[in-house]
Amino acid sequence: MHITHPLDPIYNSESKVLILGTMPSVKSREVSFYYGHPQNRFWQVLSIVFNEQIEDNKEAKTNFLLNHNIALYDVLKSCDIKDSSDSSIKNPVPNNFSKILRDSQIKTVFTTGKKAYDLYNKYCYPKTNIKAILLPSPSPANCKFTIDELSTYYKIIKEIINN
H or E element that contains 18:
strand 17-21
Say how far apart CA 45 and CA 26 lie, in whole Å. 21
Sheet (strand 132-135) strand order: 70-74, 17-21, 108-112, 132-135
Question: Among 9-18, 77-86, 106-115, 148-157, whose mean pLDDT is lowest?
Answer: 77-86
- Say which CATH superfamily domain 2-162 falls into: Uracil-DNA glycosylase-like domain (3.40.470.10)
Q: Say if residue 143's pLDDT is above 90.
A: no
Say how far apart CA 92 and CA 106 lie, in whole Å. 24
Amino acid identity of residue 102, one-letter, is R
Q: Return the domain boundaries, the chain.
A: 2-162
Sheet (strand 76-80) strand order: 2-4, 76-80, 90-94
Query: Which pLDDT tens digit goes with each residue over 68-110?
Result: 999 999 999 999 999 888 889 999 999 999 999 999 999 999 9
